[in-house]
Structure 1
Amino acid sequence: MKKSNKIMALLSVVLLVLLTACSSGSSDKSGNGGSGGGSVTTIKFAHTGSTTHQDQIYAEKFKELIEKSTDHKIKVDIFPNGQLGSEADVIKGVQNNTIDMTEVTADSSMAQVVPSMNVLGVPYLFRDLQHVYKVLDGEIGQKLLEDVNKKSLVALGYSEVGFSNITNSKHKVVEPSDMKGLKMRIQPAPIWEAFMKKLGAVSTSMNFTELYSGLQQGVVDGEENPIATIAAMKFYEVNKYISLTKHSYKANVVVISPKTWEKISEENQEKMKEAAKEAFEYQRDYLAKKEEETIKELKGKGVIITEPNRAAFEEATKDVYKEVSKDVPESLVKEIKSVK
């Protein structure tokens, strides 16, 4: 009986070893997340926008593309509405490998980590969307992403937020002088403090996730964001006036954790990059078609939308770029402006 028990125990050990060997996925790039492997890599994708925000539009398209192209060997779980924290929080999470992926505003939260990204916040840097895309899709945009890669992040590309406009709860804004004394929420970046100062407004830095309540409670009178954001976050409910200043283009930078990136096969890394690019192209086409419709909808809700004196706004803020000259040389500003 004792001998039989020993044999059974030995067989159990052998079986356990065999099962463990069979069920363990490969830790190198040839197995984990590869098209031929059986394992699935699940990516937590966090952002601070609502479920109708531009961030979500991008995230959903990226999820669709990457899951399809990898035969669902890569799965994406999206966490909107700042569920995993503010933009600053999620950047740290991605750097520390506690969050897999995010998209954050280039000229504010990302600029706090990658100073060269401040250049994308320079007022009236871009003539139009075609100018924007030539820069972001070209050599300059790639160089900026390379700076991101030096900060314990892996940059996959950009996503769109759009051209920003000024909103407030007090009155119409047509001339720069109409900004005087308005309490304006800004993103946490020196260039936006300088921008509001040049216009005579009083600036207050505030997390995006706290902005609606800040406007509702009168902590701030106004803010600046693209039309799509104003609609998606319902800022128009507490800010009746929108001025189409289109003073800056806001891009997001899409990043993934280095540790997560290393788990993905080289084949699927390429698919991730391609999905990021395709999602950006889809998102910007979608938003371009939607903007005029959104403006009409906002007017129908009683929002007062004005065309300001953009030339006067540009003149009033023409020296703002000097506030970030330490991180953004004038030569880079000129190089971007010269792109045709």
Structure 2
Amino acid sequence: MKEENHPMKKLIALFLSLTMAASLAACGGSASSAASSAASTADSTAASSESASTAEGEDPYAALGDFTMVVGHAQPEGNPRFVSMEQFAKDVSEATNGHVTVEVYGNGQLGTEKEMLEQVVAGTIQGMRGGQFDFSPRLLMFTLPFLTQTRAQVTALLQSDLAKSVCAEAEAETGTVIINLCDAGGYRQFSNSKHPITKPDDLKGLKMRTNGMKTIDMTFQALGATTTTIPYSDLYMGLKTGVADGQENPWVNVQGMKFYEVQQYFTEVNYQFHPDPFYVNATWWNSLPEEYRTIISDCATKMGEYNDQLIDENSEAAKQAIIDAGCEIYEPTDEEIAAFQEAVQGVYDQCIEEGICTADELAEMQQIVANAK
């Protein structure tokens, strides 16, 4: 059917035409100019957004290059060293916008502590953390038995000018740089599978494991024990099979390595702490841009503080876990501790005789400890 040409429809059409014209006039011109204006506005907004994005996303380290830092250590997952090293890797990556990648291999994956330090010296890996002093024997001065009694004293020693001076000797002697010195695990305790140790004479005849550290050997020998060297990663089996009767380690290490499964008698003697040097290959370190060295050093300082905090937080819990496993823990009286201290005084003289420290350095350490708050 043919549509009628109705007058009302003409009026509606006229009204729509006038409305569209008014709209275009209000936009300042024709439909094409309005579209052009809209496109121009969109382009301007996009350009502005892109400019802001570039400014916000500017990478100050992009021109410095990318570096990978392979680091090894011997501790298992959950140990303060393991946890703090994982945090260190994250901190370095974030602080360098991902341009420095730290690959951490814990739990002895790269070998024994001595083997890892040899790899650092050779440049096969870039760094390692651990109480390995074969190439820096002067660090042993901080491991003298019963040198300290509190966390404040340990921290004062490790942050002292004397400690910094001893660490600085490492580069010339070993080709490594020590970028941090923290606590390796807390105060160290005695354990064995034969009988409780309540006095020095109880160690006579026991075969005690050491890691080859002179001050541990000297201490046990002064107390009447014999010593045998077993790598940390092999210690559990060495104790289980009777290669050694006993050992010495902090609570967190005993728990982490489950030595409580193969040792029955523990003595909370707190006889020694070990520095935990973070060795880095000097050639690799000196090849880094200064900005990266500063960042890594700052992150290493934070790592050391976090490590010591974790040790303090975890030690009592680790000790309780050992008790819960059915082990006996003997806590000597002050008088009994004094007997152990007296028995090992000769170790101080030996360290001076062997050049580990001088008499003046020993006096300086004792003064640092006495002044620690």
Shorter-chain TM-score tier: 0.7 to 0.9
What is the TM-score when the length of structure 1 is the normalising length? 0.86
Query: How well do the aligned residues superpose, as a CA RMSD in angstroms?
Result: 1.6
Q: Pairwise mapping of residues 279-298 of structure 1 onto structure 2 (< 5 A)?
A: 279-298=303-322
> Does structure 1 residue 142 correspond to structure 2 residue 171?
no
Contact 2:68 2:103 in 1 (8 A): yes
> Does structure 1 residue 159 correspond to structure 2 residue 182?
yes
1:115 aligned residue? 137
Which residue identity does 1:157 align to in structure 2?
N
Contact 2:74 2:107 in 1 (8 A): yes
Which residue identity does 1:320 align to in structure 2?
V
Q: Which runs of 5+ in 2 are unaligned?
A: 1-58
Contact 2:255 2:321 in 1 (8 A): no
1:52 aligned residue? 78
Q: For each residue in 1:133-172, what CA deviation from the matched residue of structure 2 results, as whole angstroms up to 9, or x when unmatched? A: 0111121121111111222001101132221110111111
- Higher percent of residues as helix: 2
Q: CA deviation at 1:127?
A: 2.7
Q: CA deviation at 1:34?
A: 7.5
Q: Secondary structure at the match of 2:85?
A: helix
> Does structure 1 residue 321 correspond to structure 2 residue 321?
no
* Runs of 4+ residues deviating >4 angstroms: none
Work out the CA distance in 1 between the residues paired with 2:60 and 2:272.
Answer: 40
Which residue identity does 1:281 align to in structure 2?
E
- Which fold has the larger relative contact order, with Cα–Cα distance below 8 Å and residues 6 or more apart in sequence? 1
Work out the CA distance in 1 between the residues paired with 2:317 and 2:297.
Answer: 31
Match of 2:365 among 315, 321, 336: 336
Contact 1:154 1:255 in 2 (8 A): yes
Work out the CA distance in 2 between the residues paired with 1:231 and 1:34.
Answer: 44
Contact 2:205 2:226 in 1 (8 A): yes
The structure that has the greater radius of gyration is 2
1:224 aligned residue? 248
Q: Secondary structure at the match of 2:274?
A: strand
Which residue identity does 1:217 align to in structure 2?
T
Aligned length: 304
Work out the CA distance in 2 between the residues paired with 1:189 and 1:228.
Answer: 20
2:22 aligned residue? none
Which residue identity does 1:94 align to in structure 2?
V
Q: CA deviation at 1:266?
A: 0.4
Which residue identity does 2:343 align to in structure 1?
A
Contact 1:44 1:77 in 2 (8 A): yes
Work out the CA distance in 1 between the residues paired with 2:65 and 2:275.
Answer: 34
Q: 1:316 to 1:100 in 2, by over 3 A?
A: same
Which residue identity does 2:196 align to in structure 1?
K
Q: Which runs of 5+ in 1 are unaligned?
A: 1-32
> Does structure 1 residue 90 correspond to structure 2 residue 127?
no
What is the TM-score when the length of structure 2 is the normalising length? 0.78
> Does structure 1 residue 203 correspond to structure 2 residue 227?
yes
1:266 aligned residue? 290
Contact 1:181 1:202 in 2 (8 A): yes
Work out the CA distance in 1 between the residues paired with 2:296 and 2:233.
Answer: 28
